[in-house]
Amino acid sequence: MSEKVDIKSLNFKELENFIEELGEKKFRAKQLYEWMHVHLARDYDEMKNIPKSLKEKLGESAEYVSLKQRDCQISKEDGTRKYLFELSDGNFVESVMMRYEHGISVCVSSQVGCKMGCRFCASTLDGWLRNLTPSEILDQIYSIQKHSGERVSHVVVMGTGEPLDNFDNLLKFIALLTDEKGLNLSQRNITVSTCGIVPRIYDLAKEHLQITLALSLHASSQEKRLALMPIANKYDIHEVLDACDFYFKETGRRMSYEYSLIAGQNDRDEDAKELGEFFSHKNCHINLIPVNPIKERDYKSSSKEAVFAFKNKLEKYGINVTIRREMGRDIDGACGQLRRRHMEESHS
Ligand code: SAH
């Protein structure tokens, strides 16, 4: 038996070809595409103008990815929502919806688990299981928009997983999300965060997309980065920063650097000085994140005062710095914690 086609991962042209292969008229592709990517139908049954005979054919030949919502925690402080979704193979992923002045932002996962091993991150503790398909990444947004009834305006690929380790599916996902025949999100409203897979940063730059690339830097020297991020064994900090410069030159999009502040580890004067000197003449943005402690590791977050002091020191070098607003503090905070808690509970 041949494998079923993942219909929600097909672009419009591929969908037309598939529909023609089924012996159907081309205009059915337009209807189906609209049901999937504009009306965000959860199954074939919702598709009113699609004949039963076609729905039956599709049921046999195509898989319709619709994530099952298993949990939704809503913060009483700021309305942040943490969703836990079940995939068709029984794996779980989590996504977050945040409310900002500029709109609704959704943070999506790109893999089930992660193999990057960053020391402070909960997503990597159980390793990597598999890549998410374009439709599984997309449906995190569709499910949330449908469930919340609010239009998603911004998407950040900063949930579980390393997006550049799932490169082809990431590109397909972005193409579908920004398709004018679909949700038509602006590329400028999408941010992809990477721990720094150098060859893929060059590949992404050559796609000439207008998305924002965020590099998880977290340290001011190779030696310090190595203590936090195993990926630094493979790519030296200077190679990564060169790749980021290339991304900016090639796309004109200002780089964003994420820096999670860990008390006593990377929040000292010398760290600020090294960073400041390095970035002082660059057109970039540094986003400081007070580290969200996870119970499996003993990293402590820098105090509020230390975070502000670090920001001031960087600003003296003329750098654009923001402090990430802590959202949803009253619900399972850090990346991967909701999924882990669920797995722990179902194993005990
Ligand atoms: N793999 C990608 C995207 C996922 S993580 C990456 O590494 O960028 C999104 C961001 O959250 C990264 O900057 C990551 O380093 C950071 N992060 C992960 N766990 C964290 C924690 N416990 N506290 C603060 N930041 C964390």
pLDDT digits (tens, 9 = 90+) for 186-201: 999 999 999 999 999 9
Q: Which atom of ligand 1 is nearest to the CA of 216?
A: 13
Q: How many angstroms separate the CA atoms of 29 and 26, rounded?
A: 6
**Which residues, 6+ apart, have CB-to-CB distance to 236 below 8 Å?**
222
Give the max Cα distance, the chain: 69
Q: Which atom of ligand 1 is nearest to the CA of 218?
A: 15
Q: What is the pLDDT along the chain (348 residues), one digit of tens a residue?
A: 468 999 999 999 999 999 999 999 999 999 999 999 999 999 999 999 999 999 999 999 999 999 999 999 999 989 999 999 999 999 999 999 999 989 999 999 999 999 999 999 999 999 999 999 999 999 999 999 999 999 999 999 999 999 999 999 999 999 999 999 999 999 999 999 999 999 999 999 999 999 999 999 999 999 999 999 999 999 999 999 999 999 999 999 999 999 999 999 999 999 999 999 999 989 999 999 999 988 888 899 999 999 999 999 999 999 999 998 877 777 765 556 677 777 777 665
Of the candidates 160, 186, 187, the one whose C-alpha atom is nearest the C-alpha of residue 332 is: 160
Kindly give the distance from the C-alpha atom of residue 158 to the centroid of ligand 1, in angstroms, as a whole number.
7
Active site residues: 94, 335
235-244: string of b/e by CB count within 10 Å (b at 16+)?
bebebbbebb
Q: Which residues line ligand 1 at a C-beta cut-off of 6 Å?
A: 116, 118, 120-121, 158, 162, 193-195, 216, 258, 260, 289, 291-292, 294, 334-335
Of the candidates 202, 198, 196, 200, the one whose C-alpha atom is nearest the C-alpha of residue 217 is: 196
Answer whether CATH 2.60.40.10 is correct for domain 68-347: no
Kindly give the distance from the C-alpha atom of residue 343 to the centroid of ligand 1, in angstroms, as a whole number.
20
Q: Cβ of 107: how many Cβ atoms within 10 Å? A: 24
**Mutate-to-test residue for ligand 1 from 96, 120, 164, 200, highest number of ligand atoms within 8 A of CB:** 120
For residue 256, the cross-strand partners are 214, 285
Q: Which two tokens stand for residue 158?
A: 């900063």
Nearest CA to ligand 1 atom 11: 158
Kindly give the distance from the C-alpha atom of residue 35 to the centroid of ligand 1, in angstroms, as a whole number.
34
The pLDDT, as a whole number, for residue 109 is 98
Q: How many angstroms separate the CA atoms of 258 and 341, rounded?
A: 26
Contact call for residues 173 and 137 (beta carbons, < 8 A): yes
Kindly give the distance from the C-alpha atom of residue 82 to the centroid of ligand 1, in angstroms, as a whole number.
16
Q: Which atom of ligand 1 is nearest to the CA of 294?
A: 22
**Mutate-to-test residue for ligand 1 from 114, 216, 307, highest number of ligand atoms within 8 A of CB:** 216
CATH of the domain spanning 5-63: 1.10.150.530
Q: Cβ of 86: how many Cβ atoms within 10 Å? A: 15
Domain range list for the chain: 5-63, 68-347
Question: pTM higher than 0.85, yes or no?
Answer: yes
Nearest CA to ligand 1 atom 14: 216
Residue 8 φ/ψ, nearest 5 degrees = -75, -10
